[in-house]
Structure 1
Amino acid sequence: MRDEEAINQLMLIHTSLLFRIAYYYTKNLHTAEDIVQDVFIKFFQMDIPLAEHEVKPYLLKMTANKAKDYLKSWHYRKLILQEKWFLHKTMTEKDALVQQDEEEEISKAILSLPLKQRESIAYYYLEGLNIKEIASLLQVPDSTVKSRLSKGRAQLKEKLKSIEWEVLLHESI
């Protein structure tokens, strides 16, 4: 069993990254928290010796796999059906969203991407992983990651082009 100080240090270093990764997949804060907690529990129970440089990719892979398992689960599919029903109901009541922050718009656009493009965009731009690291994590060729990034960028551009960006309205040319 690993000592408590090492466990705390690993959790301190990796929790926020793993949480963001889980959130990119699930789009739900509580589910992402549960996934990260489960990943750490499983990791510490396995008690396998890993070098410091091997821990991060291992935890990332565990988190991605756990999140993907959740997306395949009956609980998730049931939740999606309930959300669609609720969204339809609130839209018929004509609840309008007032104005959204530019960061929220970008986040929503990223979260609306298909999973393959979303994970590549998130790993590359939000987590700073390079193409080789992403390819290794997802177990796909580098060219596949490049293709997913390209498609994701094109979809984001299309989704975000109609927004009047506050920052650009006040820019003098």
Structure 2
Amino acid sequence: MGISEPFLQPEMASPDLDNRQQHLEYLMRRFGDKVLYLAYSYLHDRYWAEDVAQEVFIRVYTHLDKFEGRSSIYTWIYHITVNLCRDQLRALSRRREQEPVNYQEQAITGVEDRVLEKLQQQELWRAVLNLPLIYREVIWFYYYEQLGLKDIAKILGISLPAVKIRLYRARQHLQQVLKVGDGNA
């Protein structure tokens, strides 16, 4: 899955507007839901996740001609998504310092909302979402996206040993959280 996605073909980076639009549409169909779920796992907010997903594909479209094929298109898109999510989280922390944030609960409609709601209800998913970001992202890529450790290292821009350590610590943390949850039953 995922990383075996074929490299972007050279003709996909063609300046021909119709060709670029066709390739963007294909990439949005192929990776749109995955990008949305990844963004949601970072941001915990459906609307922010949708905004980030839109921005990801805007950047893919504008930089399609710069894609060099050194990694799969899947890895490239996920790298853009991770960077945009991190930027959003940094901006949010700066805004929180300046003004209080008012959250309003929105009515949940549509298929995407139901899928996200179902994921939120699962005990394991909640535990993953409560992990510190550095652990949550490796768990997401390893288990939910089924990426290899080397690919995760590329996407996150960290070393392979760092990925292994984060994955190990994330598993330990999840084990402790789930044991505490079982003890309270």
Please indicate the TM-score interval, normalised by the length of the shorter structure. Answer: 0.7 to 0.9
1:54 correspondence with 2:72: yes
Asked if 1 retains the 8 angstrom alpha-carbon contact of 2:120 and 2:126, the reply is no
Shift of 1:57: 1.1
Shift of 1:28: 1.1
Deviates more, 1:20-29 or 1:147-156: 20-29
The CA RMSD over aligned residues, in Å, is: 3.1
1:155 to 162, 170, 173: 173
Asked if 2 retains the 8 angstrom alpha-carbon contact of 1:71 and 1:77, the reply is no
TM (norm. structure 2) is 0.71
Could you tell me how far apart the structure 1 residues matched to 2:166 and 2:43 are?
19
Shift of 1:55: 1.5
Residue 15 and residue 120 in structure 1: after superposition, are their counterparts in 2 closer, same or farther (change >3 A)?
A: same
Partner of 1:23: 40
Could you tell me how far apart the structure 1 residues matched to 2:179 and 2:41 are?
22
1:42 correspondence with 2:59: yes
Asked if 2 retains the 8 angstrom alpha-carbon contact of 1:131 and 1:145, the reply is yes
Could you tell me how far apart the structure 2 residues matched to 1:155 and 1:161 are?
10
Could you tell me how far apart the structure 2 residues matched to 1:102 and 1:4 are?
34
Partner of 1:8: 25
Residue 131 and residue 116 in structure 1: after superposition, are their counterparts in 2 closer, same or farther (change >3 A)?
A: same
Residue 53 and residue 139 in structure 1: after superposition, are their counterparts in 2 closer, same or farther (change >3 A)?
A: closer
Shift of 1:54: 2.9
Could you tell me how far apart the structure 2 residues matched to 1:68 and 1:20 are?
15
Residue 139 and residue 53 in structure 1: after superposition, are their counterparts in 2 closer, same or farther (change >3 A)?
A: closer
TM (norm. structure 1) is 0.76
Partner of 1:91: none
Percent identity, aligned pairs only, is 28
Shift of 1:75: 7.0
1:110 correspondence with 2:110: no
The structure that has the greater radius of gyration is 1
Q: Which blocks of at least 5 consecutive residues in structure 1 are unaligned? A: 87-99, 166-173
Query: RCO (CA 8 Å, sep 6+): is it higher in 1 or 2?
Result: 2
Asked if 1 retains the 8 angstrom alpha-carbon contact of 2:119 and 2:125, the reply is no
